[in-house]
Chains A and B, each alone.
Chain A
Amino acid sequence: MLELELGLISLGGRLSLVPQATVTAVVFGFVYALVAAGLALIWGVADIVNFAHGEYMLIAMYVTAFVASGFGGGASPVVLVPLNAALLFVLGYATYRLIISKVMDAPMLAQIFATFALVLIIRYSALFVAGPTTVSIDNYVFEGQTQLAGIAVAHPEAITGVVSVAALGLLFAFLRSTRTGKAIRATAQDREVAQVMGIDTDHIFGLTWGLGLAAVGVAGTLVATFSPIHPELTPTSWTLIAFAAVALGGFGSVLGAVAGGILIAFVENLGAVLLNPSYKELYVFVVFIGVLLLKPEGVLNRGDA
């Protein structure tokens, strides 16, 4: 069956689609990188895997969709990007303080179940509020596309890529040059030593959660301008993209996650063009599980008793 579908388009035909796929991959790669950086930050500093990463992104997406339709498309995403970033930052800080801080020293099982519980709560609250159908924003602020040498870039996607890069730049500048950023990095290196040095690690973990989720707040707002939102499918696929990117980049490394995110976008888009477009997700999952299984260094010894 697979061969049959492939046979329909000649190799030359498929190769001619590569430039377009490359451009799409770059644009999507940046937003994947942003989402993955958020996950990696929380993972690397607080040593917690946030299974609900995609669900938090869903919140930003629904806020964007509701504001857009509620105000007749008048509310610009330019305003919503910082607003959602702030909203998700607060949610992230609160999530840490109210929930995650209670399971920081708990068995790994309890940590997995805590963020899985958040998956259920957020996703099915969203389903309850927004209904089981896909929501999409029509005629939003960004429209049209630019054609260049036969390669088309839709404006919403291009803007998403650019703003994602800017957000990543801000995040890195913050981590690198501010006092708080240094405290975050110190806490990631050694929690206890940081504590001895007078760093309020609980506050730092809260900030880390805030920053990590602010990243998906930005990404969610942007992606919602062109991509349909489904309460069950959307968060699952984004969480997995982020997991795959983080796995590729070496667990817990923010810079690695950025590289991983871009790589995942290439796997997805080139796989779709060269192999079969209907298995896009599958290539990501396969790379993800492949990395988990074949690159166990850094995986094996973490968290061992």
Chain B
Amino acid sequence: MATAVGDRLTTVWTGLDRRHHLALAALVVGVLAVVPLVTNNEFLMNTLVLIFLFGTMGHGWNILGGYAGQVSLGHAVMFAAGAYTTAILFVYYGITPIVGIPVGGVVAAVVGLALGAATFRLRYHYFAMATLAAALIVRVIFFRWEWVGGATGIEYPFAELGTLASLTFRGNLPYYYLIGGFALLTTLFVYVMDRSKLGTYLKAINMDQAAAESAGIDAFRYKSYAMGLSSLITGVCGGLYAQYVLYIDPASTLRLLRNIDIIMVAIVGGIGTVLGPLIGAGVFITVREYTRTSLSGTQTGLGYVIFGVVLLFISMYRPGGILNRYGGRWDD
């Protein structure tokens, strides 16, 4: 059933021209923009904020993993780079997150480019394993690094809550528009990138790197562009996450599952597609939040069992995700 819906969505979307895409997008954005005016349900608002945040992170991962085909299992590093930069600049040095979040994005991009420079020679699961190892190294270091708060992490000062300079708010509403706005911006960017020279080159590298290179595409350079953009977006999401939860520690930002959450969103929705990460985030976060609040204690793990099963079926029967770029065949 889900497959049929996915195929239908793909057909409808690709059958429309650019004007209709924008009209449809404007409609969805319009509806989402007025949602907070209609309801102030805490659970719904929180779920939507998280969908925006994870959808955007999914976009970030998707540029590198979906378009360029480089499966990073270490994107939590860039997420943490953004989150820690934002929090450290604000809590330690009093620099407003309005500056801190973009700086965090840049720091994440630099970290990502360094990681890419070291690992892009590796292909497929070797790249995946190297990025995973990098994530685990960073995790161990952050747990012991006193300056960044060690295992305790960094907490936003309560007294500053709600001031403009702290970019923190009481209630979900401002976060809804702030994070939703960044999600919209990123989606528009990926939409443009999808049809640009960069997008085409990345897809070519993904399909067959050797062929792409013999056609004159500098694979390393374009993979680095993808890594830079991917890390920038992920880093900004890290900063926004810090603002939203007001507290960061290695356990939440660098846990193994953080790497997987980011990927899950992109895969479930459809890797290498513009709308995949948003649809994936919609499905993933809704189920995750629902299982988390309705189940308790160790039962919360059940959400991940469910997603394991979903991921398994996707990889076995529909590796392209709900929006299937592969058209149901193995032709990677």
| Chain A residues near B332 (CB-CB < 8 A) | 106-109
Sample 21 A-B pairs with CB under 8 A, ordered by A number. A103-B319, A106-B330, A107-B330, A108-B124, A109-B332, A116-B311, A117-B311, A124-B302, A128-B301, A128-B302, A132-B298, A232-B256, A243-B133, A285-B133, A288-B129, A288-B133, A289-B133, A292-B126, A299-B121, A302-B124, A305-B209
Contact A105 B133 (CB under 8 A): no
Which of B16-24, B86-94, B97-105, B136-144 lies on the face that meets chain A? B136-144
Instruction: Tell me the interface secondary structure of chain A in the complex.
Output: helix
Q: Report Cα–Cα, A292/B125, bound state, in Å.
A: 11
Q: Give the Cβ gap from B158 to chain A, nearest Cβ, in Å.
A: 28
Asked whether A304 is an interface residue with its Cβ less than 8 Å from the other chain, the reply is yes
Tell whether, in the assembled complex, residue B124 and residue A303 are in contact, meaning their CB atoms are under 8 Å apart: yes
A residues engaging B (CB < 8 A)? Answer: 1, 49, 99, 102-103, 105-114, 116-121, 123-125, 127-128, 131-132, 232, 236, 240, 243, 247, 278-279, 281-282, 285-286, 288-289, 292-293, 296, 299-300, 302-305
| Residues from chain A with Cβ under 8 Å of B5 in the complex | none
**Measured between alpha carbons, how far is A93 from B319 in the docked complex, in Å?**
23
Bound form: Cα–Cα A281–B332 in Å: 36
B123 with A131: CB separation less than 8 A = no
A303 surroundings in chain B (CB, below 8 A):
123-124
B134: chain A residues at CB < 8 Å are 289
| Interchain nearest-CB distance for B325 vs A (Å) | 11
- Tell me the nearest residue of chain A to B138, going by C-beta: A285
A98 to chain B, nearest CB (A): 9
What is the distance, in angstroms, from A67's C-beta to the closest C-beta of chain B? Answer: 21
On whether the beta carbons of A278 and B144 are closer than 8 Å, the reply is yes
* Cross-chain contact A121 with B312 (CB below 8 angstroms): yes
Interchain CB contact (< 8 A) of B133 among A1, A103, A123, A292: A292
Nearest chain-B residue to A113 (Cβ)? B315
- Say yes or no: is B169 at the interface (Cβ < 8 Å to chain A): no
Q: How far is the CB of B255 from chain A (nearest CB, A)?
A: 8
- In whole angstroms, how far apart are the Cα atoms of A49 and B129 in the complex? 10
- The smallest C-beta distance from A170 to any residue of chain B, in angstroms, reads 29
Most A CB atoms within 10 A — which of B125, B256, B309? B125
Distance of A110 Cα from B298 Cα, bound (Å): 29
Q: Are B260 and A120 in contact (CB under 8 A)?
A: yes
Minimum CB–CB distance for B317 against chain A, Å: 8
CB of B248 closer than 8 Å to a CB of A: no
> Using a CB-CB cutoff of 8 Å, which residues 255-297 of chain B contact chain A?
256, 260, 267, 271, 297
> A178 vs B133: C-alpha distance in the bound complex, in angstroms?
37
Q: Give Cα A286 to B136, complex, Å.
A: 10
Residue of A nearest to B121 (CB): A296
A117 with B315, Cβ < 8 A, contacts A125-B305, A292-B122, A296-B121 known: yes
- Cβ of B130 under 8 Å from chain A: yes
Bound-state CA distance A67–B290 (Å) is 35
* Contact present for A106 and B302 (CB under 8 Å): no
**A49 and B125: CB pair below 8 A?**
yes
Task: Tell which of B128, B304, B314 touches A120, judged by Cβ atoms closer than 8 Å.
Answer: B304
Q: Which residue of B lies closest to A52 (CB)?
A: B308
Closest to B302 in A: A128
- A113-B315, A127-B298 given; A299·B305 CB < 8 A: no
Give the nearest-CB partner of B310 in chain A. Answer: A117
Q: Is B315 touching A118 in the complex (CB atoms < 8 A)?
A: no
Partner among A110, A121, A300 whose Cβ is within 8 Å of the Cβ of B309 = A121
A153 to chain B, nearest CB (A): 28
| Minimal Cβ-Cβ distance residue in A for B312 | A117
Minimum Cβ distance to chain B for residue A295 (Å): 11
Q: Which of A103, A107, A121 contacts B305 (CB 8 A)?
A: A121
In the complex, besides A49-B125, A247-B129, A293-B119, 8 extra interface pairs with C-beta distance below 8 angstroms are A103-B315, A109-B319, A113-B311, A117-B311, A120-B304, A121-B308, A121-B309, A281-B140
